[in-house]
Structure 1
Amino acid sequence: MHPYVGLFLGLGALAAAAPQVTLTPLSGPIPPVRSSEVTGPTSHGPFSGTPTVTGALSAPATAQSIAPAGAPVVTYTNNNGKLQASYMPVPYQPAGGQGVNGTTPYYHPLSDFDYESLTLALYQEWIELDLFHYGLATFSVQDFEAAGLTAQDRFLIEFMADQEAGHATLLSNILGPAAPPQCTYNYPFTTVREFIDFCQKLTRFGESGVYGFLGHLDSRESATLLLQSISTEARQQMIFRQFDGLFPMPVWFEVGCPQSWAWTLLAPYISSCPANTTRLAWQNFPSLTVLNQPNPAKTNPNLGAAQAGTGSNPLNSSDIAASNQCLNATGSSDCAPAISQNRSIPLSYPGRPVHFAWGSVGEPVGPNNSYVTSRSPLADQPRYAMFVSQLNATYVPLVNVSLAANTASAVQPNMSTFAGDPAANGTIFISIVSHNPYVTPFNLSLVNPYVWSGPVLYQAG
């Protein structure tokens, strides 16, 4: 990458087309469109007031769902491992590829899909920047040390906050003048252990939300830069799992989820945003709760009162019997911060009953309570629990469905990606759906018109 790409982005964000500029070491720094230094500190707590606008950003829809269009036309096959084209553009560069023909990169959205996806990512980066700082400021040194986290660990969290400042600045520059600023947030934790666990889960759906749309962006240039930032966020998620006493990477493949899933999980923690903040077009689905959510703060998650986890499934580290608290427990039951931890009793297992409850349509949520939960008319009734993890989307029939109580149950499936890789591991996504269309990691959003409620994060390992 050109050593002055940051300056190029700062200038290009305000231009109508890719600028033709020559940058030298003597060029003065060009201020970013918006950064953490110019937005100032934010505040915290729930929103109280009346929204001035409600609903997602929208335009007339041409259909209720995307109809399957069949396989794309494939013009390239290679069965012998040799070059199939009769030429190379230049030595050592095989024919083909996108954006490798010498055109000047243009690091900006090329469609509404791009703009709304990148804006969602910026909302995510802003809350992570605030969250990491807020946790450090809220809890004392003694609080952190009681949770097994040293001064070096706290410095690492501070450094990760600095990384988020860079990510937010990058995306603000890509988006241009209408990029949303930092907002006011409301967090669901009261202890260091709960703070760390919330960071582990927030970075999970932040990372997975980007994986879900990255390959679909029209702007390959923007996708390249976003990939370079989300690769860092993946490392953050692993660090927070280690701080949480969980195995750092218990999967072979990281799952991607649609933008509306990520926005449904993120929006409840944004209390309010400044007036005229750019709004999002993504859907807010009715909330989903796992009534018997596995609790990673317990030695044996099957003992004691069940934890009810809604949305991102915030941890409850209170009301756990001393004999069942895994922090500083002896032997393989310990869940103190560590490079790697194996739990002697798994958090969940194939065949485990999973009990659900869901919210309703028409509920206010998100910044200024200005977004409204909804579902498509195609989601006519709840029929399946859809477990999404790694490369798999597995539909499990619901049982004991009560539309009066908004509850149902399902059995955790025994699924795998490849031999020896249990797919239901790590922090996975579950949605309640009305139909079971065939989807793969690249077209998972085709299920959105059939989502009844959710997603909810399920702490499987």
Structure 2
Amino acid sequence: MIGHVRDLLMLGALAAALPAPPVSDGTVSQVPAIVTKPPRGTEPGAAPTLVNSATTGITTHGPYSGTPTTIGAEQGPATLSATIPSNPNPWATYYNSNGKLTQPQPTPYMPAGGVGTNGTLPVYMVQSDFDYESVALGLHQEYIELDLFHYGLEKFSEQDFLDAGLTAEDRMLIEYMSIQETGHATLLTNMLGESAPKQCTYNYPFTTVREFIDFNVKVTRWGEAGTWGFLSHLDSKEVATLLVQAEAIEARQQIVFRQMLGLHGMPIWFAPGVPQSWHWTLLAQYISSCPENNTRLVWQNFPNLHVVNQPNPDRVHPNNTKDWEVVGNRTGDPSDSKISEAESCVHLNEPGVSCAPAISRTRNEPLSFPGREVFLTWDNPGIPVGPNNSYVTSTMAGQPKFVAWVSQLNLTYTPLTMTGPNSGSTYQPPNEVYETDPAVNGTVFIALTDSDLFVTPFNLTMINPHVRALGLFNAG
């Protein structure tokens, strides 16, 4: 680092001999400046190399047609229990009634406590099986986003984007977001080491620009929520620190794609977190194939839960959405954008009605509302999914009785009314997080469960043995 600073000082001595850079109007800048370039390769201070190209993506897409050579999730040498019992926390004894410090300070201006504050040098590597499998899942998320954003720009023409209300600058923003994913993938790869999963190929559902953006809204939602779900549970707090800094960008991407779809950018007060197996269930069905000997994951793949009357954000009247108005049968598939111009809100220039791209939209008719009846169907377990069709959906739950709605800080149960084999209905709950903040808004996670087990954001994973099927709901 000292040598790098010395190099910069030497460059400063040359400043007077270098021409000033031009500015946009063709004149010469009056700001003193020097010509510089970042160090690369073996030069002192050079940045680490990327694991994938920042400007090109995978171009092979479509369903997997081979024969899997390995079946099922990764398994350890033994499983200790089918479920994890609830236990009281023996360490929850600290309480500060007056806001005054209760223990000696380790250094001036530093309160006692905290993790990693005792001078121990940080190690930015995973420290347990839990850490490894969680970060490996996160890496698969970064890779699909890296490929997805590139692919949408390759698949659709500039005119296709213009017809959807998106300009060349919007395309450049999507391209930049794909470049961000290269950095995220490199970061996670370096924290995992040589066995880190590699880039795979994918099978996407969209056929129009609007469907591409709609799919991105869903992908970035489960990617963000999946990471928030495990961050505070990691053994390596150093790894968690870096993941937070990457995830802050993922959250911004979620907002951008919602705005491009003409939805409110952030209709929630809190971003939800979900268990890794929920994340993997939603993500894996869009991975077609992976390189030979790619590291396998341990997480469960739940059967799909389908919303028959999923609200369509492309409609002037979302509540007039027809049954099965989606482009496929996978849980995260986007709504069908190929509806008539008379039914579409994309090209309407009317406040309260238009769903063209915008920083913010206020729709007169929300996508959904409390009390709306929601019709559901779900798959049986035992369906091959994921990379190379080598994972299999499974469930440990009994007959479903409830629908669990996971959004913001809340998990809310509503009763499931069975209407036939693998079909039923429920009603969107009216609950609020805090007064005036509807608990169910944005892209919501829904699950069929066999009980209304009490869980909170920190221990949501305990619900997994009771989940019969998993899905998403377009609430707003």
**TM-score, length of structure 2 as denominator length:** 0.88
> Which residue number in structure 1 is paired with residue 446 of structure 2?
430
Q: Does 2:354 align with 1:339?
A: no
CA RMSD of aligned residues (A): 2.0
- Quote the offset at 1:37 in angstroms: 6.5
Q: Does 2:467 align with 1:459?
A: no
- Residues 374-422 of structure 1 show CA distances to partners (whole Å, capped at 9, x for unaligned) of 011xx1111111111101111111113423xx11111111111100101
> Which residue number in structure 1 is paired with residue 458 of structure 2?
442
Unmatched 5+ residue regions in structure 2? 5-41
Equivalent AA in structure 2 for residue 339 of structure 1? I
**Separation (CA, whole Å) in 1 of partners of 2:355 and 2:177:** 22
**Contact 1:39–1:182 (CA under 8 A) maintained in structure 2:** no
Q: Does 2:99 align with 1:81?
A: yes
> Which residue number in structure 2 is paired with residue 45 of structure 1?
62
Find the partner of 2:416 among 368, 379, 398. 398
**Separation (CA, whole Å) in 2 of partners of 1:111 and 1:304:** 46
> Which residue number in structure 2 is paired with residue 70 of structure 1?
88
Find the partner of 1:163 among 180, 194, 200. 180
1:195-210 to 2 correspondence within 5 Å? 195-210=212-227
**Separation (CA, whole Å) in 1 of partners of 2:92 and 2:223:** 33
1:119-130 to 2 correspondence within 5 Å? 119-130=136-147
- Quote the offset at 1:49 in angstroms: 0.8
**Contact 2:311–2:321 (CA under 8 A) maintained in structure 1:** no
- Structure 2 residue matching 1:178: 3-state secondary structure: coil
- Structure 1 residue matching 2:438: 3-state secondary structure: coil
Find the partner of 2:347 among 324, 328, 331. 328
Alpha carbons of structure 1 residues 308 and 289: separation in structure 2 relative to 1, 3 Å: farther
1:165-314 to 2 correspondence within 5 Å? 165-303=182-320, 305-308=322-325, 310-314=330-334
- Quote the offset at 1:40 in angstroms: 7.3
> Which residue number in structure 1 is paired with residue 407 of structure 2?
389
**Separation (CA, whole Å) in 2 of partners of 1:33 and 1:112:** 25
**Separation (CA, whole Å) in 2 of partners of 1:72 and 1:238:** 40
**Separation (CA, whole Å) in 1 of partners of 2:154 and 2:59:** 13
- Residues 233-268 of structure 1 show CA distances to partners (whole Å, capped at 9, x for unaligned) of 000000000000000000010111100000000011
**Separation (CA, whole Å) in 1 of partners of 2:271 and 2:61:** 31
**Contact 1:34–1:173 (CA under 8 A) maintained in structure 2:** no
- Structure 1 residue matching 2:306: 3-state secondary structure: strand
- Quote the offset at 1:315 in angstroms: 1.9
Find the partner of 1:417 among 433, 438, 442. 433
- Quote the offset at 1:71 in angstroms: 3.0
**Separation (CA, whole Å) in 1 of partners of 2:47 and 2:245:** 22
- Structure 1 residue matching 2:285: 3-state secondary structure: helix
- Quote the offset at 1:90 in angstroms: 1.1
**Percentage identity across aligned positions?**
55
Moved more, 88-97 or 240-249: 88-97
- Structure 1 residue matching 2:309: 3-state secondary structure: strand
**Separation (CA, whole Å) in 2 of partners of 1:35 and 1:106:** 24
> Which residue number in structure 1 is paired with residue 13 of structure 2?
none
**Separation (CA, whole Å) in 2 of partners of 1:38 and 1:370:** 30
- Structure 1 residue matching 2:412: 3-state secondary structure: strand
Equivalent AA in structure 2 for residue 228 of structure 1? Q
- Residues 222-241 of structure 1 show CA distances to partners (whole Å, capped at 9, x for unaligned) of 00000000000000000000
- Structure 1 residue matching 2:335: 3-state secondary structure: coil
Find the partner of 1:112 among 126, 129, 141. 129
**Separation (CA, whole Å) in 2 of partners of 1:175 and 1:251:** 33
Alpha carbons of structure 1 residues 112 and 39: separation in structure 2 relative to 1, 3 Å: farther
- Quote the offset at 1:36 in angstroms: 3.8
- Structure 2 residue matching 1:388: 3-state secondary structure: strand
Find the partner of 1:374 among 394, 408, 412. 394
- Residues 158-194 of structure 1 show CA distances to partners (whole Å, capped at 9, x for unaligned) of 1101100000000000100011111010101000000
**Contact 2:50–2:182 (CA under 8 A) maintained in structure 1:** no
**Separation (CA, whole Å) in 1 of partners of 2:90 and 2:250:** 33
**Separation (CA, whole Å) in 1 of partners of 2:310 and 2:176:** 31
Equivalent AA in structure 1 for residue 390 of structure 2? S
- Quote the offset at 1:322 in angstroms: 2.3
Equivalent AA in structure 1 for residue 420 of structure 2? S
Equivalent AA in structure 2 for residue 410 of structure 1? T
- Quote the offset at 1:308 in angstroms: 4.8
**TM-score, length of structure 1 as denominator length:** 0.91
**Separation (CA, whole Å) in 2 of partners of 1:251 and 1:302:** 21
- Residues 4-39 of structure 1 show CA distances to partners (whole Å, capped at 9, x for unaligned) of 9xxxxxxxxxxxxxxxxxxxx963647558334799
- Residues 83-117 of structure 1 show CA distances to partners (whole Å, capped at 9, x for unaligned) of 111x2111111111110111111111110000000
- Residues 266-321 of structure 1 show CA distances to partners (whole Å, capped at 9, x for unaligned) of 01100000100000000000111000001000010122523355411422111x23
Moved more, 26-35 or 111-120: 26-35
Alpha carbons of structure 1 residues 198 and 38: separation in structure 2 relative to 1, 3 Å: closer
Equivalent AA in structure 2 for residue 327 of structure 1? V
Equivalent AA in structure 2 for residue 440 of structure 1? T
Structure having the higher Rg: 2
